[in-house]
């Protein structure tokens, strides 16, 4: 699995987010930029993402995922 596949898939499922993906094979690090998810608890934010990744996790395409969440303003400050 390639990072671009994960990015395209998640952004297609959740159009309100932007995703930066690092990694390849079955291990990925996700930087998720979304003001809409900012109001949720950390667990709820992760659940929103895992809901869509679970089929790939179940079939072994994805083994490990690390997620960091940013508001659009916080992401812009990093640049």
Overall residue count recorded for the chain in this entry: 79
Asked if residue 76 belongs to a domain, the reply is: no
Q: What pLDDT does 54 receive?
A: 96
Asked if residue 8 belongs to a domain, the reply is: yes
And the tokens for 1? 């699995």
Q: What pLDDT does 38 receive?
A: 85
- Domain residues for the domain of 38 are 3-71
Asked if residue 40 belongs to a domain, the reply is: yes
CATH of the domain at 25: 3.30.300.90
Q: What pLDDT does 7 receive?
A: 96
Asked if residue 10 belongs to a domain, the reply is: yes
Q: Which residue, 28, 16, 22, 29, is CA-closest to 71?
A: 16
Give the span between the Cα atoms of 41 and 4, in whole angstroms: 27
Give me the number of domains the chain comprises: 1
Q: What pLDDT does 78 receive?
A: 87
Asked if residue 58 belongs to a domain, the reply is: yes
Asked if residue 22 belongs to a domain, the reply is: yes
Asked if residue 50 belongs to a domain, the reply is: yes
Per-residue confidence of the chain (79 residues) as pLDDT tens digits?
899 999 999 999 999 999 999 998 899 999 999 999 988 999 999 999 999 999 999 999 999 999 999 999 999 998 6
Rounded to two decimals, the pTM is 0.89
Asked if residue 61 belongs to a domain, the reply is: yes
């Amino acid at each position: 699995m390639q990072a671009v596949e994960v990015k395209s898939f998640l952004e297609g499922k959740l159009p309100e987010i932007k995703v930066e993906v690092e990694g390849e094979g079955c291990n990925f690090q996700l930087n998720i930029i979304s003001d809409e998810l900012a109001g949720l608890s950390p667990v709820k934010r992760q659940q929103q993402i895992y809901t869509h990744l679970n089929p790939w996790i179940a079939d072994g395409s994805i083994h490990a995922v690390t997620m960091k969440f940013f508001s659009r303003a916080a992401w812009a400050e990093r640049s």
